[in-house]
Each structure stands twice: as C-alpha cells, then as structure tokens.
Amino acid sequence: MILQENQQALQEQQQRHDARRHAGAGHVTRIARKWTIINTAFALLALLSGVLGDSLTVLRSPQYVTFRDGQWPISGEKIPDLVALTMGFSIHEDLDWPGLAAGSLFQRPRANALIVVRGLDSLDFPKNISSYPLENPVPFTLDSVANTVHTLFADSTPVVLQLAPSEERLYMMGMANTVFEDLPVTLQQIRGRLSQDGSVLTSLPLVSLSRNNEADLLFLSEVQVLYDISALLQKHKHLAKDPAPDLYSLELAGLEEIVRRYGTDSPQFTDATRILTSALQKFADDVANVYSNNAVVEVVTVKTFEAPLTRKSRSILESKQISNTGNPYNLAYKYDYDYAVVFNIVLWLMIVLALSVIVVSYNLWNMDPGYDSIIYRMTNQKIRMD
C-alpha cells in the first residue's frame, strides 16, 4: 500500500515537471515567434522605403565600376559627387556612401549618362539592376562635373551635353556642338521632328496616348529626343576613341505632365511608363554599345523636387563703414583646386630629402678608413713610409 502511494506521488511529480517544461518551451516559442514577426515587419518597412520612395537606378556600368547590392539611401545633392567619382574625378568632400566600391586606378569610364525622370518615384526595371533609395530630392546639376571635364581635358574634345526639353534648357561643349548640331532641342523643333518619317509616333504603340493632346505630345517629344541622341551616337562611334570622357545629362518632365493631366491610375500613365522604361533601356544599351561597355548610365526618378531649404540671416560683421571694399570681411583667399596635391608632393619630398641627408651624413661621419677606396689606402701607406 505504501509502495503504491509512493509510486503515485512520483508519477504526479513527474507530470508536474513535464507540465512546467512544456509551459517553458511554449513561452520560448511564443517569444521566438514575436521576434520573427518584429524582424519581418522591419524588413518589410525597409523594403517598402526602398521601393516606394524616389530612387537612383544604375542601368549600365563597366566591370571596374562596382555598385554594391543594398538599400543604402543617397541624398539628391550628392548625385553630382557620385557621378564625378564614377568618372574617376576627385571631389572636395568625401562621399560617405557605401553603395559605390573603390574603383580601378588605371581605368575610368569613357562616358557617363544621367537621366532624371520627374513625375514618379520608380520605374519597372529588371530586378538584377542596382537601385538605391533617394532622399532629400533637391534640384541638382552636373555643372561641377562639366567644369572638371573642361579643365582637365581642355586640349581634347570631350562631349558635354545637358538638355531639358520641357524647359528648352541646353548646354553643349566640345564635340557636342558638332555631333548634336541637328538635334531638335526646342519644343517647336521636336514637334516638327514628330511629324517626320521614322518618329516615335509611327514606331511605338501609343495605345491610349493621343498625338492631339498637349501633355501627350510633350512626353512623346522627350522620348523622341532619347531616340535621336541614340541614333546620332551610333553615327559618331569615333567619340569613344577620344581620350577625354564624355558627359550626358537629360531631364525629362513629360511624365509629370501625364500624371498632372490623367493621374497615376489612368491607362495613359501606364502606357507612358511602359514606353519610357523601354526607351531608357534602349538608350542605355546604345550608349554602352558605342563606348564598348565603358560607360555608366544612371536614372534618377523623383516624384517632385523639393525646394532647397534656405535661411536668411544678418551677419554680425555687417558695418556701415567699410575700409576695404574689395574684401570687406577680411576673408582668406581661396585656395587652388590642386593645392592639397601640390602641398603633399612638396611636403613628402622635403621629408625624404631631409632623411637622405641625415643618413648620408651619419654614414660619412662613422666611415672606417680601412674600408675606404684604394686612393685613400695608397695615401695612408705613403704617409707611413715618409
């Protein structure tokens, strides 16, 4: 009887222990499930921030210009610095962005083409193309990069083309004045080009887009400019043999007019994005073909540009009586762009020369006469004989 009671007590104790163990395992499982849900939510938020926001997409790049896979955001005001680095130029401030890996010291791209598309935050490009979120989308230009090209390759004939058809803004330098001499740049010229043979009105499926609508014509005019630039580059393949790198910058606002006129849920917007995506991919392929895959082609998509934040203030140095009208605030003179390079060359050269003088002087002072040349040994023996 006592033995049965002890066995029953042991069984009840084992059951309580198993119940506590199962309860602890269930608690751990619930905690792990909660952490899994939290991590999934954060991953989805990061993915949505990269997909739904404005973006920078790299359509083409040489093997020696490496863009890492990731969702690192880049500021809109840093796009000119990024373009300069991809072309092998130095910039005034370091670009703290991990998306671009260190490039080759002995190779640089022969061209860089940047296309800015206004009116939407992303285009449906293939998934294997590098794309990064764009934050702080303020208006920017590639004037600094164009000035660098002009300064470093003044003796050559680089091609620099900056074009915004909707605003009829054009800047050409070097061989661009010859190559793109017949390129229609004003809206009137482009619309005249649309009525000619071989225009996009006859070669592209317009579907819901109309050639009689002002917004549709503006969008189709910009697509026509892309096709015309590609055709002119195919005719002038000798540009790739020039030692100077070429720069192309285009700003397309036709899709923004489509969104303003029809909205993002309209069939016109769907057809326009499809046509523009195909045109940009063809443009990237043509540029890469002309420059033998030694060109970088980027696309920046922004829904709307933000106005840069400015603050008006009154300087504490303001004075009614100014003695030096040429430099009223006693500012230091501006250093040359190559000042840091020249300074480092002179500094390290002086250090090497100083160390060389010290080492040579020390060795001369502690020189053993027994290891001198034959002239000194003969002189020494003659002295002893005398």
In order, the DSSP letters of 62-113 are -TTS-B-SS---EEGGGHHHHHHHHTT---SS----TTB----SS---SEEE
Does the structure show a pLDDT above 70 at 183? yes
- pLDDT, one tens digit per residue, over 321-339 is 444 445 555 566 666 667 8
Q: How far is CA 246 from the centre of its chain?
A: 16
71-75, 269-273, 365-369: segment of lowest average pLDDT: 365-369
Q: What is the pLDDT of residues 284-324, one digit of tens each?
A: 999 999 999 999 999 999 988 766 444 444 443 444 444 44
Q: Tell me the per-residue pLDDT of 60-97, one tens digit each, with 9 for 90 and over.
A: 999 999 999 888 999 989 999 999 999 989 888 888 89
Residue carrying the six token digits 């401030």: 93
Band the pLDDT of 131: cuts 50, 70, 90. very high
Residue 366 has pLDDT above 80, yes or no: yes
- Residue 12 banded pLDDT, cuts 50, 70, 90: low
What pLDDT is attached to residue 319?
A: 41
Higher per-residue confidence, 8 vs 309: 8
pLDDT, average across residues 234-239: 85
* Residue 248 scores a pLDDT above 50: yes
- pLDDT for 313: 42
Contact 129, 122 (CB under 8 A): no
If DSSP codes are grouped into helix, strand and coil, which group holds residue 16? helix
